[in-house]
Amino acid sequence: MKTMDSHKTISVGDSFKVNQEVDKYRAIYYAGASGDFNPIHIDPEFGKMVGLGGAILQGLCTLGFTADAITTWVSDPGRLKKLKCRFASPVRMGDTLTIEGTVSEVQQSRAKLTVTVKNQDGIEVLTKVQAEIEI
């Protein structure tokens, strides 16, 4: 992914695309960092028992991957001013997420981004993503 020079003008149509591999330990790492040890995230047998087919990644970890993609692109985490979404589909260890963003609107000192987050099967795992960056 090419990062954006902090002095470059951001324009409608500018975009980025990132592929993020979800390694088999990601949910455990995230549980340690966040304190979210819900068994649906760290115990594959429990995930199967409750009908999820195994353990699933914490939704906020997926959102964290999205925030990282945006802030890496703009070269500064402080420029991310808004990020929200709907958690639409589970993410599993071993998935590959594709995070794509395009500048859809520029007004004064902010740019709105249209962002999609899909798994390797093309299923949107986050929907209604709203992101704004400072320009």
Question: Where are the domains positioned within the chain?
Answer: 15-22+58-134
Asked whether residue 118 carries a pLDDT value surpassing 80, the answer given is: yes
What pLDDT is attached to residue 63?
Answer: 98
CATH fold of the domain at 15-22+58-134: Thiol Ester Dehydrase; Chain A (3.10.129)
pLDDT in tens, 50-79: 999 999 999 999 999 999 999 999 999 999
* CB-based contact 125:61 (threshold 8 Å): no
Catalytically annotated residue among 10, 40, 41, 99: 41
* Collapsed DSSP state (helix, strand, coil) of residue 45: helix
Q: Give the N- to C-terminal CA distance of the chain in Å, as an integer.
A: 19
Of residues 59, 70, 99, 135, which has the active-site annotation?
A: 59
Sheet strand arrangement including 124-134: 15-21, 96-107, 110-118, 124-134, 80-87
pLDDT at 127 over 90: yes
- 59 classed as catalytic: yes
Catalytic residue status for 7: no
pTM as predicted:
0.93
Known catalytic residue: 56?
yes
Judged against a pLDDT cut of 90, whether residue 8 lies above it is answered with no
How is residue 88 written in tokens? 């639409």
